[in-house]
Amino acid sequence: MELVPTVIFVCQHGAAKSVIAACHLEQLADSRGFAVRALARGTEPEPVVLPAAAAGLRAEGFDVGGYRPQAVGRPDLASADRIVSFGPDLGNMAPPGTRIEYWTGIPAVSEDFGAARDAIVPRVAALLASMHDGPGPRQDL
């Protein structure tokens, strides 16, 4: 059985940038025939997805209505194959030697969903490309 890699995206509230990244990573991976599990987490989670993010994602065909932001925890980071932070320092929480990618300079989703998405999606595509050597389809056993 093939192991499915897990990518954790972390933003402060777990309610916007991390959600956008997780949705787009899973969709892009699926369209390319790769299995990837993407999680959105926050260091100080909000009770619901930011309305601007939910509306923008809904317009793109993503349903995040049932998603509730969750706090990132040490077990999440220890089990992840890749960790991406949109700003929060995760160094004290991650296992020693863990590589954390920091994606900075992303516009605020509350101010401009489109600009934020346009800054996130190319990075998601590059992340996915770096995870897979070739364009081959997923091999489910």
Q: How many residues does the chain have?
A: 141
Q: Does residue 98 form part of some domain? A: yes
Distance, CA of 8 to CA of 36 (rounded, Å): 11
Write the CATH number for 65: 3.40.50.2300
Which pLDDT value is given to residue 133? 58
Secondary structure percentages of the chain, helix, strand, coil, to 5 = 35, 15, 50
> Quick check: is 127 in a domain?
yes
pLDDT at 24 over 60: yes
| Residue 64 domain flag | yes
pLDDT tens digits for 25-73? 999 999 999 999 999 999 999 999 999 999 999 999 999 999 999 999 9
Supply the range of the domain harboring residue 15: 6-131
Span 101-115, average pLDDT: 96
pLDDT tens column, 64-89: 999 999 999 999 999 999 999 999 99
85, exposed or middle or buried, with CB in 10 Å at 0-12, 13-18, 19+? Answer: buried
Residues 6+ away with beta carbon under 8 Å from 84? 7, 8, 9, 10, 21, 100, 101, 102, 103, 127
Tell me the average pLDDT across 105-122: 97
Task: Look at residue 37 and tell me if it is in a domain.
Answer: yes
| Residue 27 half-sphere exposure toward CB, CA atoms < 13 A | 13
In a domain, 115, yes or no: yes
Tokens for 99? 């590589």
Mean per-residue pLDDT for 113-130?
97
136 located within any domain: no
Dig out the tokens for 84 from the structure: 């991406």
Q: Which of 28-37, 112-121, 124-133 has the lowest mean pLDDT?
A: 124-133
22 within a domain of the structure (yes/no): yes
Query: Which of the two residues, 79 and 2, has the higher pLDDT score?
Result: 79
Name the domain count of the chain: 1
